[in-house]
Structure 1
Amino acid sequence: MTAGKADQSRAGLAEDFTLWDANVMLSGMKHLMPLSIAALVLLTMPGWAQDDRPPDPCGTQSPPVSIGIRVDCLRSEKWDAQKEWAAKYGTAGYQYLIGGLYGGGSSGVPQDYAKAVKWYRLAADQGHADAQFYVGVQYEKGTGVPQDYAKAVKWYRLAADQGHADAQFYVGAIYYFGKGVPRDYAKAMKWFRLAADQGLANAQFNLGVQYDNGLGVPQDYAAAAKWWRLAADQGHVKSQFNLGAMYANGLGVPQDYAAAAKWWRLAADQGHADAQFNLGVQYDNGLGVPQDYAAAAKWWRLAADQGHADAQFNLGARYYFGKGVPQDYAKAMKWFRLAADQGYADAQFNLGAMYANGQGVPQDYVQAHTWANLAAVDGDPERTEIRAQIAKRMTPAQIAEAQRRAREWTEAFENRKR
């Protein structure tokens, strides 16, 4: 689903080659399903009760019962003997903790994923849910074992069936993407909901995505907004951004630009470039916030510094017209060039106009024709006409050189995208 598009103004062709004013399109909603593997963590597990097992070499079984692994044991000559004892007599929690030491490479233990899997597996075979989850992680990532999605699903399911929220989320993601199992959006919904009901923000976000797109469930914008709000309240940045877009468009919630600004600001403060861009649009147009061209430029700069092409273009236009920032053709050229290098046709057009007019750079018809040619590649009649007007001021050799540069730029751009 794409957020609404505000009016875009374009000045008519005057005596000089006139630039397009700032594009004020709201960024579309980004439906990205997170499937990153969380860093391996160490959880403090309870020790074991006294029984008739032989004493462990480090003496951690003696009363009072110790919790976890003592650092002095890790750094002593007894560590290898302690591990042998743990493999034969240790509780699942103790084995899981050793796996975490190897998985994280902490407390002086060298990172070794193969050894981590061994210890996680020992604990997992005793029904330890966290260990089962991390065995699944290892199989999905192919760390310490060959990558095997079917085995990852098996171990995730064992942990998920015990109510392990992260495992439930990963089972849902496996079904969503069809990794090791047939793709099944309905089953993905089932597992995401189980994790979401436990408060897992990523699962709540993914439920919102499925309701928004009607994947495995009837499309329901109100339900999407509900789940995104739950995740957004936990600081989930993509949910904050999407919820802002719902308010801006009035989908599943009443249209409310002030509420959109609230949620986009929360996401923007976490560095979300699209949210920063959209806040700039709101300040530029006075949508839900007082109109403030300087604030618009501020938010566009933050997004532009992250490579956001729309923001780079808008910032260039603001420097060109001196709107919210001092007029500065050199800075306008800088930001137009950054957007143009990403294939942004409006910015390419503006670069051509500035080279033709000698604004911020020496007048250069070869450069002007090069960028106008790139901007007109889609056949836009006005851009094509302006390119033709520039060509009238050039020699055949200059036109040939501009065309060569345009071909080289296009080839390099296509190579960068591969």
Structure 2
Amino acid sequence: MRCVLFALFLVGAGTTIWAADSYTDAVSAVHRDDYDLAARLFRPLAEQGHAGAQSFLGILYANGQGVPQSHEEAAQWYQRAAQQGDAAAQFQLGVLCANGQGVPQNYEMAWQWYQRAADQGVVAAQFQLGVLHANGQGVPQNYEIAEQWYRRAADQGHARAQSHLGVLYARGQGLPKDYREAIQWYRRAAEQGDALAQFQLGVLYANGQGVPRSYKEAGRWYRRAADQGDAVAQFNLGVRYANGQGVPQNDELAGRWYRRAAQQGHARAQSNLGVLYANGQGVPKDMIRAYMWLTIAVEGSRGDDDGKPAIANQTIVASDLTAAQIEQAQEMARRCQESQFLECEPKEQVPGVVP
């Protein structure tokens, strides 16, 4: 009997060693970007119940790496790993639930999975719990609880949590309004490259909130956020160049930054770009293209107060156009929007690197 038990033990131990080696090889394949091999190695382990392999296989399906992209498959593998207590899978499953990818959108389920991952120390899950509590998604809106989760993540260096904590201080949500505290948290996030924090620092410097007013500093932080594609920062930077606040007045650069924001759907940037075309400021005068951008701005503003200047300027521009020209501009606007803003400008006007 002892021999049999010993033999069985050896088989079990051998299987465990083989599984560990295969898992290590699979992880190494991921690090080498050899996703086909990683998927082949992870799959048998995942089917045998290896939680780490199940979690990794979910990631490969979510990203379409080594396997066809499928959020449904990703969710299934995350679920199997999450139920075994795998913290990474619990977090990823929360993301899918929050976004409605591969599973029906369900913020309550997202909260549950984030909570389980956060309790195991997953910093990103702690941040996401703050987001759900701040927005009242899946749980009652509660800025005090949001602040607690943001702070836990922020204290561990999570840049976006630091940025969101700064927002709470700036707005006085869940804690007393304190621009100086907001500045500190924004700066910590901004120095890690967080575009939201960089933009918010620009706002506080422009308004002189928590720091002495400095349009130059505002422009510097707007520029850092704008270079990362933040549309609002791009618009604000355009305004600075148009008005010469903190930067030399330059209509051409204003137009370039408005254009970048406009091509991301920013309605006020679209409106301002239309005005530049109408006046020939920084761009060749083109009333038809002006009407095009103003039309897009009016549609994008959806009737809010930001749309009123666009409507007024559209009416002014229309008075200088024929019916045929207005129809041409409307067709250009349609083509621009249908192309996701890729076919809005003549080739010579498409910006390269903005100095």
Query: Same fold by TM (over 0.5)?
Result: yes
Contact kept, 8 Å, 2:97 with 2:106, in 1: the verdict is yes
Contact kept, 8 Å, 1:265 with 1:279, in 2: the verdict is yes
Could you say which residue in structure 2 is the equivalent of 1:341? Answer: 263
Paired residues for 1:111-126 under 5 Å: 112-118=37-43, 120-121=45-46, 125=49
Instruction: Give me the whole-angstrom Cα distance separating, in 1, the residues matched to 2:101 and 2:308.
Output: 47
Greater percentage in helix: 2
Please say if 1:97 is aligned against 2:97.
Answer: no
The residue type equivalent to 1:341 in the other structure is Q
The residue type equivalent to 1:168 in the other structure is Q
Instruction: Give me the whole-angstrom Cα distance separating, in 1, the residues matched to 2:321 and 2:89.
Output: 67
Contact kept, 8 Å, 1:136 with 1:155, in 2: the verdict is no
Please say if 1:322 is aligned against 2:244.
Answer: yes
Which stretch of the first structure deviates more once superposed, 111-120 or 181-190? 181-190
Deviation of 1:220 after TM superposition, in Å, equals: 1.8
What's the % identity of the aligned pairs?
42
Could you say which residue in structure 2 is the equivalent of 1:232? Answer: 154
Instruction: Give me the whole-angstrom Cα distance separating, in 2, the residues matched to 1:327 and 1:360.
Output: 11
Paired residues for 1:138-287 under 5 Å: 148-149=73-74, 151-160=76-85, 164-173=86-95, 176=98, 185-287=107-209
Number of aligned residue pairs: give it.
327
Over 3 Å counting, the alpha-carbon distance change for 1:156 and 1:322 in structure 2 is same
Over 3 Å counting, the alpha-carbon distance change for 1:149 and 1:255 in structure 2 is same
Over 3 Å counting, the alpha-carbon distance change for 1:132 and 1:149 in structure 2 is closer
Unaligned runs of 5+ in 2: 1-5, 343-355
SS in 2 for 1:416: coil
Contact kept, 8 Å, 1:120 with 1:134, in 2: the verdict is no
Deviation of 1:296 after TM superposition, in Å, equals: 0.7
SS in 1 for 2:84: helix
Select which of 254, 257, 273 maps to 1:332.
Answer: 254
Instruction: Give me the whole-angstrom Cα distance separating, in 1, the residues matched to 2:285 and 2:137.
Output: 54
The residue type equivalent to 1:159 in the other structure is Q
Q: Deviations over 1:196-226 (max 9, x none)?
A: 2332101101221222233443332111111
Could you say which residue in structure 2 is the equivalent of 1:404? Answer: 328
Indicate the RMSD between aligned Cα atoms, in angstroms: 3.7
Deviation of 1:182 after TM superposition, in Å, equals: 6.8
Unaligned runs of 5+ in 1: 1-50, 56-85
Paired residues for 1:356-371 under 5 Å: 356-371=278-293
SS in 2 for 1:208: helix
SS in 1 for 2:23: helix
Could you say which residue in structure 1 is the equivalent of 2:337? Answer: 413
Deviation of 1:290 after TM superposition, in Å, equals: 1.3
The structure with the larger Rg is 1
Instruction: Give me the whole-angstrom Cα distance separating, in 2, the residues matched to 1:177 and 1:391.
Output: 42
The residue type equivalent to 2:40 in the other structure is K
Deviation of 1:319 after TM superposition, in Å, equals: 1.4
The higher-RCO structure (CA 8 Å, 6+ apart) is 1
Contact kept, 8 Å, 1:320 with 1:328, in 2: the verdict is yes
* TM-score, normalization by structure 1: 0.65
The residue type equivalent to 1:243 in the other structure is L
SS in 2 for 1:112: helix
Paired residues for 1:290-329 under 5 Å: 290-329=212-251
Contact kept, 8 Å, 1:149 with 1:179, in 2: the verdict is no
* TM-score, normalization by structure 2: 0.75
Deviation of 1:166 after TM superposition, in Å, equals: 1.9
The residue type equivalent to 2:20 in the other structure is G
Instruction: Give me the whole-angstrom Cα distance separating, in 1, the residues matched to 2:96 and 2:294.
Output: 46
Which stretch of the first structure deviates more once superposed, 379-388 or 248-257? 379-388
Contact kept, 8 Å, 1:283 with 1:296, in 2: the verdict is yes
Q: Deviations over 1:15-36 (max 9, x none)?
A: xxxxxxxxxxxxxxxxxxxxxx
